[in-house]
Every structure is written in structure tokens, then in C-alpha cells.
Structure 1
């Protein structure tokens, strides 16, 4: 079976974001979505992660719940999916491409909103397949 390309990951991730409830979709309009093969050494170091296969997605930015009026300046928040670790997780767990991308995108988007893990699971359930 052929591995999904970076473009296919991005397309599916954008489709997941498009299916979020309107209140969430509006708040994510300024968030950049990227797909990279692996996290950078700087990203891994900032999280204390040694193995690049241990990081499938990352939210970089200030959560909406923690923003101040001065946080509107500078770089936009970014959600990055890491293709190779996601491919490895798909192979190891048997979780399907769409299900895994949905899970990681919603988890990282949840960080943008300052959601708890329980809130993220409820949001993921609301998006469905």
C-alpha cells in the first residue's frame, strides 16, 4: 500500500478543521497548518523528547485562554503534523489514516483553545469520520 503524501496529510487535516463546529472553525482561521517529515531538533528539545518518532503533531502559539492584548503581534499560531512519525504510528497501531490525522489535528487544535484532554475527546467525537 502506498504511503499518503504530505499533500494528502494536509488535505485531510484541512477537511477535519472544516468539519469543526463553527465556533471553533472561526477561532482557527489565523492558525497555520503545516506538514513536515519530522520535528526539528529545536522542537524536540523544547519538549524534552529525544526520539523524533515520539512526536506526531505540535501546536506552537499562545492558547486563546492565555492571550493578552499584546499577543496579537508577531507570528501566527502553527499546527504541524509530522508525517513520518504518523506513518510509523499507523503501521504500529493499525489505526487508519483518516482516524489518526483527525485525532492529532483535533488534539493540537485543542491546545489553541486551552482545552483539557477530556474536552478534546468530546470535540473529536463531535467531528466524527
Structure 2
């Protein structure tokens, strides 16, 4: 599948807007970023949470850099053949990375069917 960076970012924003309010309203000091691919150049990683999970924080205050949820464009496009598949995969990636923000690890995400 092929899609330029602007169209992909717009799709990520659309999918983010479709998430339940109670899932995104609790995201404090988090930015969503779209990048072409991970630093190692692989196409295996669809997204990444870069920050300190809520369950690991002792305090969080003013002056802290925001946590980041990164969605990688090229790996998504490499794994999806249709726009519907792409939407579903972006949705799953967003939920997965937001779960990491809340301290849910990959093992629990597998149990829930989100990894």
C-alpha cells in the first residue's frame, strides 16, 4: 500500500478522534507523533510509547517534557493491503501504545487481544 506522509498523519488523527473519550482524556502531557520508520530502519515496529508509564511515576510536575506516542508510517503501509486494514491497524496501534502509557505491559495486552 502507498500513502504519503500527510495523508497518513490525517488518518492517524481521524483514528485518534474515534477513540473513546475516557481513553484519551486521561492522557496528560502526551504528544502523538508520526514518523516514517523506527531509527533502526526496520518495518517490524508499528508504534512506540516513549515515556514513563503512570504506574511507574512517583511524581510528575511542571517542566517535564511530554511523553510521546509514535506511529510509524512505512511499517503500517508494508503490513496493510487495504484502507480498511490500515485503519484497523492504526486503531490497534494507538490503543496498544496508550495502554503502555497506563502501565499495561505486552503480556497483558496479549491476554486482552491487543498485541
Indicate the TM-score class for this superposition, using the shorter chain for normalisation: 0.7 to 0.9
Aligned to 1:19: 18
TM-score, structure 2 as length reference = 0.77
Aligned to 2:31: 32
- Between the two proteins, the alignment pairs up a number of residues equal to 109
For 1:120 and 1:66, how far apart are their aligned partners in 2? 23
For 2:113 and 2:51, how far apart are their aligned partners in 1? 17
Segment of structure 1 superposing worse, 93-102 or 104-113: 93-102
The answer to whether 1:74 aligns with 2:74 is: no
* Structure 2 residues without counterparts, runs of 5 or longer: none
In structure 2, the CA distance between the partners of 1:119 and 1:35, relative to structure 1 (3 Å rule), is: same
Greater helix fraction, Structure 1 or Structure 2: 1
Aligned to 1:99: 88
Aligned to 2:74: 84
* Structure 1 residues without counterparts, runs of 5 or longer: 42-50, 122-129
Aligned to 1:54: 44
TM-superposed deviation, 1:23: 2.5
TM-score, structure 1 as length reference = 0.70
The answer to whether 1:8 aligns with 2:7 is: yes
TM-superposed deviation, 1:94: 9.3
Question: What's the Cα RMSD here?
Answer: 2.6
